[in-house]
Every structure is written in structure tokens, then in C-alpha cells.
Chain A
Amino acid sequence: EVQLVESGGGLVQPGRSLRLSCAASGFTFDGYAMHWVRQAPGKGLEWVSGISWDITIIDYADSVKGRFTISRDNAKNSLYLQMNSLRPDDTALYYCAKLTDGGPEDYWGQGTLVTVSS
């Protein structure tokens, strides 16, 4: 059974940092690109960042570029998101996901909530 389990969310003050983790199991983690997707309260889905299977290609949404860093450890089947200089508009449910790459394999975690507030 495929599982993606996010952790690390919580309440944080503006300007502070937080690190999200995602533990993957049940599929060949090191064979696929992985992503972080978020949904702010009352808003739509927003792709945040993606990383290729071999870490050669990384990209970010403009809204987080320069503040967030995605990484992965294939030996640990884990994905990470280091979030610095957090702002109130970063408040969202953050999903770890293996998104379809043109095929049917598409997996999502249940999300971890990040709240940025003083």
C-alpha cells in the first residue's frame, strides 16, 4: 500500500523557519519526481516545489522562490521542505505528492498544516 506521511507542520511566527518532512512507502520512491503542493484556507491548490528523482532538476513557484528549499533522501525514502522567512500568506495545508508524469501513478499524503501568525 502506498503511503505518504507528512510531518513538521505547526504554528510559527512570521519570519521564522519550519521544516516539513514526508515519509514515503509502498512504491519506488527513488524512481520518481516528488512535489509539495499547498492549499491556503479558502483558496485553490498551488504547486509549491518539485524535485526530480536524481535531484538534478528542482523548481519552485515564484511565491516561494528564494525562501523555500526542497530536498530528498532516496536512501531514507524521504522528502523535505525547508521553509524560511515564513509569511502569513504561507499559511496552508501542505501536501507531499508523487504527481502523475503522464501515467496513472499519482499519490498524495493527507497533508500537514502550517499556520504563520504572531
Chain B
Amino acid sequence: DIQMTQSPSSLSASVGDRVTITCRASQSIRSYLNWYQHKPGKAPKLLIFAASSLQSGVPSRFSGSGSGTDFTLTISSLQPEDFATYYCQQSYRPPSITFGQGTRLEIK
């Protein structure tokens, strides 16, 4: 099974900050890496698919990069609505899926 390790597990930041979350796969997953935002009481929302493709309607301050085993999600300038939990997810061998353990982004 492919394991996904996200870091950090939690992060405090201020509005306007640049934030980076990393995700490492236990083996190469090429570019089959996706990023989700999850807020309490709502379904998870896809932000980035295929490592670096921005989902329609997602602000351009969100970006993704990486391939193989190492990936990053960057928020260039945090907005109040960005405080949430973020998950990476690998989809290299569907329908077998793995999520990272999540990064809780909190207001400093």
C-alpha cells in the first residue's frame, strides 16, 4: 500500500502569509497527487489535481507542484476563508486511494 506523509500536521499563520504544505509518498506516484480543503460541516473540496492543475473556481493563490514522491501545496497570500484542514491524496492505482493525515491551518 502507498503511504502518504504530510507535514506539518498543524500550522499557525496570519492573513497575507505565504504557506507551504508538503506531502511525501512512500513510492513514486508520478503526478497522481491531489489536494483537498476541508471545512467543518462541509464536504471536502478539490483544490489541485494531477499535482499542479488548479480546479475550476479555485483562487490562483493556490498552487501545487512536485512529481514522483515529493509534493507541495502553496498558498501565496492567506485569506481569512483559507483557514481549514488540507489533505493530500494519491490516486496512482485506482480505485485504491490514500489520504495524508491532514494539515490544520489555524489563524495566528
Give chain A's interface residues, CB within 8 Å of chain B: 33-35, 37, 44-47, 50-52, 57-59, 62, 95, 99-104, 106, 108-111
Closest chain-B Cβ to A17's Cβ sits at a distance in Å of: 23
B contact residues vs A (CB 8 Å cutoff): 1, 32, 34, 36, 38, 43-44, 46, 49-50, 53, 55-56, 85, 87, 89, 91, 94-102
Partner of B85, one of A44, A62, A103, A106: A44
Q: Is the CB of A108 within 8 A of B43?
A: yes
Question: Contact partner of B46 among A44, A47, A100, CB < 8 A?
Answer: A100
A76 to chain B, nearest CB (A): 19
A-B contact pairs, 28 of them (CB 8 A): A33-B94, A33-B95, A34-B95, A35-B95, A37-B44, A44-B87, A44-B99, A45-B38, A45-B87, A45-B102, A46-B99, A47-B98, A47-B99, A50-B94, A52-B95, A57-B94, A58-B95, A59-B95, A59-B96, A95-B43, A95-B44, A99-B34, A99-B91, A100-B49, A100-B91, A102-B91, A103-B50, A108-B43
Contact of A44 among B50, B97, B102 (CB under 8 A): B102
Given A35-B97, A47-B97, A50-B96, A104-B53 contact (CB < 8 Å): yes
B53: chain A residues within 8 A (beta carbon): 104
The smallest beta-carbon distance between A100 and chain B, in angstroms, is: 5
Say which residue of B43, B89, B94, B102 sits within 8 Å of A111 (CB atoms). Answer: B43
CA–CA, A45 to B56, complex, Å?
A: 23
Q: Report chain B residues within 8 Å CB of A45.
A: 36, 38, 44, 87, 89, 99, 102
A50 to B95, CA, bound (A): 5
Expressed in whole angstroms, the Cα–Cα distance for A59 and B38 within the complex equals 24
B94 to chain A, nearest CB (A): 5
Q: How far is the CA of A57 from the CA of B97 in the complex (A)?
A: 13
With A44-B85, A46-B99, A106-B55 given, name 6 new contacts (CB 8 A): A45-B36, A45-B87, A47-B98, A52-B94, A101-B91, A104-B55
Are A102 and B55 neighbours in the complex by a CB distance under 8 Å?
no
